[in-house]
Structure 1
Amino acid sequence: MQIATPFRFRTTAALKAFTLAVFALIVFICLASPSPRIQLPRQRRLRFQRPLPLNRAASIDYTDTGAASKETIATKDESSRPTDIPLVDDETKPTSSFDKPGENEGWSGQSSDAVTGTSTASFLSSSTRRSCYSLEGADDVVVIIKTGSTESEEKLPVHFNKTLQCFPHYLIFSDYAEIVDDHVILDALENVTADIRLEHEDFDLWRRLQADGRAALDESELSVNDQGDPASPFGNPENGGWRLDRFKNLPLVGKTLEHKPDAKWYIVVDADTYVVWSNLLQWLKHLDHTKPMYLGSATFVDDQVFAHGGSGYILSSPAMHAAADAYMEEQEEWDRFAADHWAGDCVFGTFMERKQIANLTWSFPSLQGSDPTTLDWTQITDDKRMWCYPAVTYHHLKPSTVEALWDIEQEWIEDSGGKSLTHGDMFKKFALSRLKHERVAWDNLSEDELEGHQTSDALDCRAVCESDTSCIQYSYRDRVCKTARIPKIGREDVDGVHYAGWMLGRIHNLVRDLDDCHEGGWILD
């Protein structure tokens, strides 16, 4: 018994030493081995490919040796670039430095025709292609989407996945030529007058893009990080992409005709514009494509009237060709005019008027410059009650709203029997289902603030609205109650302190009254 204790002690000590040695070995192996990668679900990423070679023979006057030398500075390895945009097929298509999108993500490519610029989309097989693709008159129209490198990654994917399925012919213009998910993006600015392109301060972004590609973009320049109001009538002058935009409207006319000269109609829209395609085609059937026509939502800068670009503007074939010819003859004059202006759509409208190409056909309210989430659906302008007119465009849309409107239109095409979709129909299909009894962390943009009365909470604010028979909705924040006589969807309150509510019974009564339409139809002159 006397030797048992020392023996147990030695055995226990040896066991502890062995355990510590094993533990140390495990720790050493773990530290020496590379850390395992945790595989997180990936969001789909756009595939950006190298820019298309530019046709420099067309973009610069080589008799101006000074301009030519500056052109060489503005681009890299210019001598190695072909002088023409190549056909991009499976063998020559540039590889992407971005991750290839996974399968079954709802993405469809384009035919080689579309990639080379004829913009004949082949997104789906003929057996599964959306009915919107083959609507009567679809083959007569070219849709021109105007965007920029700072916003394209945010705003184009919804068009790739949704709206472009409806357009047999389209072109996308930007401030940088590239291929994104097999869609060709053309540079609208490559032929702008050389000294403006190479020296003007607002072309700084363009020059950086030519030199370094998308690597030249700073995160702060991207539209997702914009701090300005996207719906401001004065735009966002702090953004370099926005400052470039005014130079695109005139050059893209001739560039469009290089790719698609034989269409009857051309519509120019922004990347955050939704086109109600079925309505557009019905409307154009009532118009004469053989006459010079320029249609848009009339806007003014000082005394100059022009078609608002975000609402979209439409040109007939004669107007398009006449504009291209006139711009070619006086390009430098009009490029300098754009440099001294701030709004490209106003530049274009001034050009159309001074060159006497076509008078503007005022097309509001079918061409609409507002977002359906903030729109006053009851508005009457120029004796036209918006509710009763066919909807052709909306503007300032988030991608999620574009997708929602596209889904609504597809259902309408299938179920309406060819009837036009009015703004009133869109309210009932899009807005009405989004109006709730009440919502927390939501601002419905009520504007009428109560004077001389502070409410204690959201319930008190609702009671105030209920007591006023003209009140349609209310919002409450920090003891301030606001009401409104028109229904709006509004937006999420990121601070989470807004309360919003709607008087649904009153809204249904309002809809019934607004549906009593004795006007509407297509705007023809």
Structure 2
Amino acid sequence: MSPSIYKLAARGRWIALLAVLLFAGLIFRLWWSLRSPAIVQELPFTRVESKQNSTHSNHGGVVAGDDASKHQQSNSNASTVHCPDMPGMEDILVVLKTGVTEALNKVPAQLDTVLRCTPNFVIVSDYEEVIGGVRTVDVLRNVSDHIKQSQAEFDLYNRVQRGGRVALRPEDYGSDFNSQYGRQGNPGWMLDKWKFLPMIDAVLERQPTAKWFVFIEADTYLFWENLLAWVSKHDPSQPKYLGCQTAIGDNVFAHGGSGFVLSNPAMRKVSEHRKTHMSELEELTVREWAGDSVLGRVLKDVGVSLTWSWPMSQGKQLWDLDCFSEAYSRRAWCHPVVTFHHMTPIEVYDMWAFDQQWLDSHRSGTNTVLFRDIFVNLVLPEIGGVRNNWDNLSEDEVKDDKSPDHKFTAEECRERCKGKSDCLQYTHHPDGRCLASRGTMQGEPKVNVTSGWMIDRITAKMDEFGKCETVEYVL
């Protein structure tokens, strides 16, 4: 073989070897990206501010914004963003609690809306990753190894810590069916109860001087202006625990999804108690099925009582909310609404749009959003008359005295409601059931269901409740 042939053969071997090495390198990078925690830099939605113009910066999980962020232009509708500019905003840390199975679906809407107007916030989760330029904080890291290895709820957590998001399985997303014991068929929800106590230390460490800590979830909508006005009427130097009351057995606590507020002294009491009762509190969490209940028990043990905050802290969605409702010697109508719960990302965007329009049109006067305002602007335009394929969520079943098994027609159901002076709406189901209500809800689509509202009575009820010359607060 000639020297030139040897040279060509040698060059070919080097080229082949180089190709093999390059291919191996690509395989390694792909393998490494799959086993490492996912870092999400771009999301499938239009952010209001671009990354180049964003004024939010990441500081170990706490995000601080400046005034420039209040005037960014929307890429979708070019409308000006109006954020409240009130004394005290800098003293509040908003804590958004989420989890790996829902974060990518729900957190972007929060970053694009509520959290845009939040000077200081932290996103706590069961998985550390970057979403929209914000790093989440894994608050389960300081749960004991014994608990992580012995409790079935941590199977999801352990797999994701080892393998990243690719370790998630379809069954990890589970069912959203909410029973009286929560979403027991949802592994992400089951794991969530372990975050409530650890997140107290995690966020206190990041913002130790905050006067108020406001805890919301990824499906909670927060009205900033109303929150500021509310907490300004409370003393942050005292141990305070504000939230929508609920109960499991004899334990009354603030419902997590409705949002709750803790003052700095209350936070420190929980933190100090946890340091000396770690094992005991982990065993308590094993026995309980709701983490907000565990936190409520601890607050009671350290002497911090709950301020029952219904209706301001609200567990309802807009479509199933009765703004005429009365409970606990309070009437919702003239109270400000601070939170809604179970809000889908689309509903978060819709509420944000209303919130922005409200702030824009009320610059010269009070911009407090009352339940009355929610009803007049968002519910009333959607109701009235008869609506087919719609369920307005009436609950009181109507019976025929002469024939208890009588199956009503839609017209008969309407006439029964019309014949009762306190009936404001009715629902007729295809099986002949007729339901009525003394409240008024917007409702939701449902095939073959017919709903109707007595709009003249609803208007009279609005006149009776009045225009709210005085704003009512839970104090």
TM-score (norm 2): 0.82
Structure 1 counterpart of 2:189 = 242
The corresponding residue for 2:62 is: 118
AA of the residue aligned to 1:409: D
Amino acid aligned to 2:330: K
For 1:214 and 1:435, how far apart are their aligned partners in 2? 43
Are 2:175 and 1:226 aligned? Answer: yes
Tell whether the 8 Å contact from 1:108 to 1:123 is kept in structure 2 after alignment: no
Give the C-alpha shift of residue 266 in structure 1. Answer: 0.5
Q: Which residue identity does 1:170 align to in structure 2?
A: F
Say if 2:344 is the partner of 1:395.
no
Deviation string, structure 1 residues 367-408 (Cα, Å, up to 9, x no partner):
122222112322222211121212111222222332232222
Cα distance change on mapping 1:50 and 1:254 into 2, 3 Å? farther
User: Which position in structure 1 is the counterpart of 2:434?
Assistant: 481
Contact 1:378/1:386 (<8 A) preserved: yes
161 and 126 in structure 1: CA distance in 2 versus 1, 3 angstrom threshold: closer
Gap runs ≥5 in structure 1: 1-48, 52-75, 82-93
Q: CA deviation at 1:323?
A: 2.0
Contact 1:307 1:349 in 2 (8 A): yes
**Paired position in structure 2 for 1:468:** 420
Instruction: Select between 378-387 and 274-283 the one with higher mean Cα deviation.
Output: 378-387
1:475-508 per-position Cα deviation (integer Å, ceiling 9, x unaligned)? 2222333222211111122xx2212222222211
Q: 1:347 is matched with which residue: 294, 297, 302?
A: 294
**If the length of structure 1 is used for normalisation, what is the TM-score?**
0.75
* Contact 2:193-2:285 at 8 Å conserved across structures: yes
Give deviations 1:55-100, integer Å, cap 9, x for gaps. xxxxxxxxxxxxxxxxxxxxx79xxx9xxxxxxxxxxxx865x8x4
What code does the residue aligned with 1:140 have? Answer: D
- Matched letter for residue 182 of structure 2: G
Residue type at the aligned position of 1:391: V
Q: Give the Cα separation in 2 of the matches to 1:366 and 1:448.
A: 26
State the 1:123 CA deviation.
Answer: 9.8
Q: Structure 1 counterpart of 2:261, which letter?
A: I
Do 1:107 and 1:160's aligned partners in 2 also have CA atoms closer than 8 Å?
A: no
- After the TM superposition, which of the residue ranges 281-290 and 319-328 deviates more from structure 2? 319-328
Cα 1:384–1:104 shift into 2, 3 Å? closer
The alpha-carbon deviation at position 265 of structure 1 amounts to 0.7
Give the AA of the match of 1:117.
Answer: G
Question: Residue 41 of structure 1 corresponds to which residue in structure 2?
Answer: none
Seen in structure 2, the aligned counterparts of structure 1 residues 470 and 156 have a Cα distance that, compared at 3 Å, is: same
How many residues are paired up? 428
Aligned residue type for 2:435: K
Residue aligning to 1:209: 160
SS at match of 1:263: coil
In the alignment, does 2:371 pair up with 1:423? yes
CA spacing shift, 1:108–1:265, aligned 2, 3 Å: farther
Contact 2:39 2:129 in 1 (8 A): no
Q: Which residue of 2 aligns with 1:490?
A: 443
| Aligned counterpart, 1:28 | none
**Does residue 301 in structure 1 map to residue 248 in structure 2?**
yes
Equivalent of 1:366 in 301, 312, 324: 312
Counterparts in 2 of 1:236 and 1:522: CA distance versus 1, 3 Å: same
Q: RMSD in angstroms over aligned alpha carbons?
A: 2.8
- In the TM superposition, 1:28-427 aligns within 5 A as 100=42, 106=48, 108-109=50-51, 111=55, 113-114=57-58, 116-121=60-65, 125=69, 127-128=71-72, 130-222=81-173, 226-229=175-178, 232-356=179-303, 358-416=304-362, 417-427=365-375
For 1:482 and 1:441, how far apart are their aligned partners in 2?
15
Would the alpha carbon gap of residues 164 and 468 (structure 1) be closer, same or farther in structure 2, given more than 3 Å must change? same
Q: Name which one, 1 or 2, has greater alpha-carbon Rg.
A: 1
Which is further off, 423-432 or 411-420? 411-420
Letter of the 1:423 partner, please give it.
F
Pairwise CA distance, 1:421: 1.9
Amino acid at match of 1:489: Q
Structure 1, 310-319 or 452-461: larger mean CA deviation: 452-461
Structure 1 stretch 371-380 or stretch 113-122: which is displaced more? 113-122
Paired AA for residue 324 in structure 1: S
Q: CA deviation at 1:338?
A: 0.9
* 1:442/1:490 contact within 8 Å kept: yes
